[in-house]
Amino acid sequence: MMNIEQACEAFKTLLEEQAARIAAMSTEKTDFTTKKCVTIGVIDGDGIGPIITAQAYRVLNKLLADEIAAGSIVLKQINGLTIENRIACGKAIPDDVLAEIKSCDVLLKGPTTTPHGGTMESANVAMRRELDLYANCRPVCVPEKNIDWMFFRENTEGEYVLGSRGVELDGMAVDFKVTTDLGTKRIARAAFEYAKNNGKTHVSIVTKANIMKKTDGKFTALAHEVAKDYPGIEVEDYYIDIMTANLLKEPLREKFQVVLLPNLYGDIITDEAAQIQGGVGTAGSSNVGDKYAMFEAIHGSAPRMIERGMGDYANPASIIKAAAMLLRHICRPEAAARLEKAMDECTVEVRSDGTGATAAQYADALMQML
């Protein structure tokens, strides 16, 4: 337990580290339209991760076979980001694994387990920080319900940036939340650029600025400042609590198009949105920075499925959708469209209770359609 003076010293250290992080924010951009060779790192993860990631790996090998043979695409397997290895090394991402990750241009990552309690940081949080993956983009589309949403979640700040660095005093624990000008402006610009480039006319800014007046208040104010550069786009503010209700409210929810949120709120509400689409197993997501990008399923490692011996029945659709998003990011839209069409038309069902196809059988069917 700390005393108040020790807590103040710890907080000072955190503030100094955050100031250094802001100063080091990357501005180097990767241009995939001119890059002669793109290296795709594939990370298995934990639990059901190796099972579902193996299927996405097979699909990418099939789709990109010609480019792999020509040397313009490299698929690189990255090992060691398992819970056992991370605990043994005492690091969210072991140093040798991080070096392998940074040798790639983009990553396809299986789910990883974060221990409950303790001080070990989430591998995802560490990766977002190390690679400066500030934009978490999650699409949700349900055409029969007139739903076509794209969520832009700030990915490197908020509660998560210092989530394992809080202080505990006698009878009291305090965690910290961080919102910066640069971090907010770049995620806001990413959301408005997406809206402009994809014919969207409505952006919803979701915070709890009536309560978190400094951090969420700053996020809201800066997002509106960026919005002034996009005069053709309507902007509305919502509080996170009512927005969770509005996503269930028909027909109001049909008007939502692009949703911009700080880190924690984005994490929660995109799981709700994925459930509306059919479950978290149906949704992929991208984590994008200026130099690197990482694509993943939005669900966890499902250790209970492994404990029940049902891991082979984990649905790989989410990570395969993430693979399609990866293909679009590296400027392979034709391959992405082929994969998305096959997924839309595939009638093979995977069920976690074991009454449907296995993950491998689903991938087999997809590859036949490709």
- Answer with the one of 245, 277, 309 that is the final residue of a domain: 277
Are the CB atoms for 221 and 180 separated by under 8 Å? no
Average pLDDT, the chain: 93
- Answer with the one of 215, 244, 277 that is the final residue of a domain: 277
pLDDT value at position 334? 95
Instruction: Tell me the residue range of the domain where 249 lies.
Output: 143-277
The pTM (predicted TM-score) of the whole model is 0.83
Do 270 and 175 lie in a common domain?
yes
Residue 20 lies in a domain: no
pLDDT value at position 257? 98
pLDDT tens track for 204-224: 999 999 999 999 999 999 999
Residue 16 lies in a domain: no
Do 154 and 265 lie in a common domain?
yes
Count of CB atoms situated within 10 Å of the CB of 351: 11
Residue 221 lies in a domain: yes
CB within 8 Å of 361: residues ≥ 6 apart: 348, 350
User: For residue 76, what is the domain's CATH number?
Assistant: 3.40.718.10
Do 194 and 241 lie in a common domain?
yes
Residue 311, class by beta-carbon neighbours within 10 Å (0-12 exposed, 13-18 middle, 19+ buried)? Answer: buried
Distance CA 357, CA 355 (A): 7
Distance CA 201, CA 235 (A): 9
Residue 282 lies in a domain: no
For strand 73-78 and strand 284-288, is the pairing parallel, antiparallel, or unpaired? unpaired
Residue 187 lies in a domain: yes
pLDDT value at position 100? 97
Transcribe 123-167 into DSSP letters: HHHHHHHHHT--EEEEEEEEGGGTEEEEEEEE-SSBTTTTTT--E
Do 273 and 149 lie in a common domain?
yes
Return the axis-axis angle of helices 95-102 and 123-131, rounded to nearest 10°.
50
Do 156 and 267 lie in a common domain?
yes
Phi, psi of 25 (to 5 degrees): -55, 130
| One pLDDT digit (tens) per residue for the chain, 370 residues | 788 999 999 999 999 999 998 888 866 788 899 999 999 999 999 999 999 999 999 999 999 999 999 999 999 999 999 999 999 999 999 999 999 999 999 999 999 988 776 777 889 889 988 999 999 999 998 999 999 999 999 999 999 888 778 888 888 999 999 999 999 999 999 999 999 999 999 999 999 999 999 999 999 999 999 999 999 999 999 999 999 999 999 999 999 999 999 999 999 999 999 899 887 766 778 999 989 999 998 788 998 999 999 999 999 999 999 999 999 999 999 999 999 999 999 999 999 889 999 999 999 999 999 9
User: Which position has the token pair 């793109």?
Assistant: 38
In three-state secondary structure terms, 136 is strand
Distance CA 339, CA 325 (A): 10
Count of domains forming the chain? 2
* CA dist list (Å): 99 to 80, 85, 104: 12, 15, 9
Token pair belonging to 85: 């290895």
Token pair belonging to 147: 């739903």
pLDDT tens track for 282-333: 677 899 998 999 999 878 899 899 999 999 999 999 999 999 999 999 999 9
- The DSSP bridge partners found for residue 107 are 41, 294
- Answer with the one of 247, 277, 307 that is the final residue of a domain: 277
Residue 255 lies in a domain: yes
Distance CA 52, CA 297 (A): 9
pLDDT value at position 281? 65
Q: Which of 210, 231, 202, 207 is nearest to 219 (CA)?
A: 207
Token pair belonging to 281: 């197993």
Residue 370 lies in a domain: yes
Return the axis-axis angle of helices 317-329 and 359-369, rounded to nearest 10°.
40
Do 301 and 214 lie in a common domain?
no
Residue 242 lies in a domain: yes
Count of CB atoms situated within 10 Å of the CB of 306: 16
